[in-house]
Amino acid sequence: MTLDGKIATAGGESKWITGDVARAYAMKLRQGADAILVGVNTILADDPSLTLRARNPDRGTRNDGKPLRRIVLDAMARTPLIAKIVNDEHAALATIVVGKVAPKKRVAALGRRVKVITAPTIKSKIENRESKIDLRWLLKKLGSENVTSLLVEGGGEVNASFLLGGFAQRVTLFFAPKILGGRDARKAVAGDGVKRLDEIIQLREVEWRRLGPDLLLTARLE
């Protein structure tokens, strides 16, 4: 993110904010996870590969030979059929998590290429419709499938759901010495935010490191 906490412009442009060293470190984090998770807006904005790039001959497999699972929170099954995650050589390892309200035809079309999980949803306060995948349910389900380490990579709405919902155990934040500004630029943590200062998310065991021109923060959550 930029120093002012932005992860993309208002138009959704995010490549690249941090430098090469920080991005290589992020790849190492993927190596240590059983799965990576993003929200559907990130797929729509960036069409990311979410693979293990950087000198890895088999981009879908971790150094220990285990496959890396890619997971998308997508209550309405909006992931485009042309998205990389649905079409590349590791598509069979991708999982789209949809809600019961997702259009059946879209779910079926996605299901021909990737794994689709239908999850319970909870009401979004802003949209006033059942639109958020129930993370408690999903984490239990993933745990039963031996996903014990999940790397959540954004965007801001998904980050907020994990952080404000109390589902995150550690955070890793990369800060570039840049300022984006703009009230509509995308925030690293969006959602509803905390209502009162005594509900603030407190980080513990904070460590800072320099990664080229950028800063890396790692910490535990209470």
Query: Where do contacts with ligand NAP occur on this chain (CB under 6 A)?
Result: 7-8, 12, 14, 17, 38-42, 45-46, 73-76, 78, 131-133, 135, 153-158, 161, 186, 190
Please name every residue paired with 35 in a beta bridge, in sequence order, or none if there are none.
69, 150
Residue 188: CB minimum distance to ligand NAP, A: 8
Residue 40: CB minimum distance to ligand NAP, A: 5
Residue 174: CB minimum distance to ligand NAP, A: 8
Residue pointed to by tokens 């309405």? 76
Helix, strand, coil tally for the chain in percent (to 5): 25, 30, 45
Residue 207: CB minimum distance to ligand NAP, A: 20
Which tokens hold the place of 210?
């320099």
Q: Which residue number, 74 or 214, has a Cβ lying nearer to ligand NAP?
A: 74
What Å distances lie between residue 201 and 5, 14, 27, 150, 190, CA to CA? Answer: 15, 25, 26, 20, 13
Q: Which residue number, 10 or 206, has a Cβ lying nearer to ligand NAP?
A: 10
Identify whether the C-beta of residue 115 lies closer than 8 Å to the C-beta of residue 137.
no
Query: How many angstroms from the chain centroid is the CA of residue 164?
Result: 15
Residue 21: CB minimum distance to ligand NAP, A: 15
* Three-class DSSP category at 172: strand
Q: Which residue number, 93 or 152, has a Cβ lying nearer to ligand NAP?
A: 152
Q: Which residue number, 65 or 189, has a Cβ lying nearer to ligand NAP?
A: 189
Residue 101: CB minimum distance to ligand NAP, A: 9
Q: Which residue number, 157 or 214, has a Cβ lying nearer to ligand NAP?
A: 157
Please name every residue paired with 151 in a beta bridge, in sequence order, or none if there are none.
36
Q: Which residue number, 64 or 184, has a Cβ lying nearer to ligand NAP?
A: 184
Pairing of strands 35-39, 150-152: parallel
Closest by alpha carbon to 48, among 20, 21, 12? 12
